[in-house]
Chain A
Amino acid sequence: MTSIRTRLFVILVLATGLIWLCAVVWIYVNTRHEVERALDTRLMEAARMVSSLVTRGEAVVGATVEPPILDRTTGYERQLSCQIWSLDGRLLGLSGGAPSVELSAHASGFSETVIDGQVWRVYAIADEARGVRVLVGDRLTVREHLVGDMIVGLLLPAAPILPALAILIWASVGRGLRPLRSMTAALERRDANDLSPIGDENAPAEIRPMIEALNTLFGRVAEARAHERGFTAFAAHELRTPLAGLKTQVQVALAARETAARDSALRQTLVAVDRTTRLVEQLLSMSRLDVYATAAEQEWIDVGAALESLTQSLRPAERPVTVDVTPDARTAFVLMNAELFHLAVKNLFENALQHSPDGGTVTWSVRTTGAAAILAVQDDGPGIPEDELQLVRRRFFRGRHKSAVGNGLGLAIVDLALQRAGAELRLRNTENGTGLVAEIVLGRERVSSGPRGRV
């Protein structure tokens, strides 16, 4: 049943009907009991009355005891039948319409007898002094009839009331659901791009949590959209400068008359293309990272193998830079999402290589301190000025010691990737100021000194 209105209506109508039925049953049982008590009392009184009227040995033939209350109702006429028996068993008299067979074999008190297929309730009273026994009885069918009439009288008004009640319930339920309907209508009217919150000033308490949940969702979607738009605008903006450089260098190459100038411009063009390519790659990484769930799938990553393959692809061919991976790092395994690990390590590695002077060394190492394990890379470059250490994680921040191909995204990507991977990036200059140490700080349990199974 999909409609709340129908559902509520059926439930309410069934419940009302059931309560009505219970009331009828209760009234029936109660009335029946009362009627029996009253009629029994009447039997007793009638018997005593007759008994007191009988003189010794005289027959009162043809006496009819009329019921004092119900005599005007034709259906209840001749309810009571009376017999007077002598104590020695002779029938002395009986009321009109009374059967001639003995109404009860009992000497005195109440009893029930079947005569001609009809059940009689009889009260007997024996008068030793007068020598008579008086029997007064009525038929049970009459009693049932009486109770039945009362119940019908009770149920009859329900016939018009129940449909009226149903209409009332239907209308009330509809009215009660009006806030829900108006909210639905408001949502339906909404433009697909309208992510403003729904007003809940007039909303009933029951649907307010739903409105709040919806508003939270709208807020998140709007935020994600704004972020996306902002990022696209930012990316487009950031691409303009390298493109301008590229175009200018090409125009210089075309216009240069001297070979040296043209060659220089072409070399710069090449660098510009590399840099722009890297910028595009990093922008893509960044936008991927922005939507990455924190609970990304993790696996044990072979640090040695990862560094080996990155060394092959990243080490500059034209400059002598040594890459040193300590034995601990070579055999280490790290529990992390593979893509996030790759992004973080690759960008840190690129940074270290770019900032290393000719003949410099880039060192990867692993160590544990307390509850933390640290995968660190150290270079012998100029480091980062202390006042810029906090700024370098910002997107597109380029400090004073920037490299020619950098675009200010590398450390922002590392920072974001490690956040998503549940790790932390720490940056510090070496004590003697001859290089930068970038540390990936993880929980100790996420670094192992040997191969581990997939998690």
Chain B
Amino acid sequence: MRILVVEDDPILLDGLRAGLTIHGLTVDVAASCEDARTALRTSAFDAVVLDLMLPDGSGLDVLRELRVRGDATPVLLLTARDTVRDRVDGLDTGADDYLGKPFDLDEVAARLRAISRRSSGRASPLLRRNGVVLDPARRTVEIDGNPVGLSRREFALLHALMERPGIILSKDQLQERLYGWQDDVESNAIEVHVHNLRAKIGREAIETVRGIGYRLREAW
């Protein structure tokens, strides 16, 4: 899952980036409304963590613009103001969830998984396909009950493919999903990860659609 964290406090921002990365998320950061707008216009995120009080305006404005554009990216508001009124305002503006500071890192990760799951229309937290079970919370993958060891990128790749089974994801989309802006990406990185993943879950599981991208087969 690729997440955008918008927070102006440098230490909290650094903590969220490091902490959510540990939770297996790909994290990009923005420290102002302006940076957040740019990031949201140019990249696709699975969820956004948005602080309300930013140096150049309110996070609520960014959220409102996002919804006006018709962008349904799940948004978790993170703020020091957490009276009922603030929460109601935030949720009514289009936020999917609301968390008051200070919060628990595990809870932030769990809520991000939850709002992302709901936005993709799934009720169960587990993703299942042809005997493969992926647990986003515990970051484990099992095939017919047997655990399979995947690297962080391999897990993220499988997660992306299993979230939209049958849909072709381009190499750029996958790359965006797997890497933040700060990560150095080899040009053939996705091919390498797909190759490794096929070796672990089955050669026929991932179909290469030439010139377009990759997709997970119904069965293999």
Query: Which of A's residues lie within 8 Å of B, judged by CB?
Result: 237-238, 240-249, 251-252, 255-257, 261, 264-265, 268, 271-272, 275, 398-400, 402, 404
Contacts and interface: CB of A to CB of B under 8 A. Distances in A.
Contact of A249 (B11, B78, B104): B11
A268 B80 contact: no
Given A251-B106, A256-B22, A399-B55, A241 B15 contact: no
14 contacts: A243-B102, A245-B12, A245-B14, A248-B12, A248-B105, A251-B15, A251-B104, A251-B105, A251-B106, A252-B15, A252-B19, A252-B22, A256-B18, A257-B22
A240 B18 contact: no
Contact of A252 (B9, B18, B104): B18
B139 interface: no
A272 B15 CA distance: 11
Interface in B129-166: none
Interface residues of B, number: 22
Interface of B: 8-12, 14-16, 18-19, 22, 55, 78, 80-81, 100-106
Contact of A268 (B15, B78, B102): B15
Contact of B19 (A242, A248, A402, A404): A248
A265 B105 CA distance: 13
Contacts of B80: 237-238, 240-241, 244
Given A244-B103, A248-B19, 14 more contacts: A241-B101, A242-B11, A244-B101, A245-B11, A245-B12, A245-B15, A246-B102, A247-B105, A248-B16, A249-B18, A251-B104, A252-B19, A252-B105, A268-B11
Contacts, number: 79
A404 to B, nearest CB: 6
Given A237-B81, A244-B102, A398 B14 contact: no
A241 B51 CA distance: 10
Contacts of A252: 15, 18-19, 22, 105
Nearest to A265: B18
Given A240-B101, A251-B106, A275 B15 contact: no
A75 B9 CA distance: 116
A402 to B, nearest CB: 8
Given A240-B101, A243-B101, A255-B22, A248 B9 contact: no
Contacts of B9: 241-242, 244-245
Given A251-B105, A252-B105, A400-B55, A241 B12 contact: yes
Contacts of A402: 55
Nearest to A262: B18
B87 to A, nearest CB: 15
Nearest to A241: B9
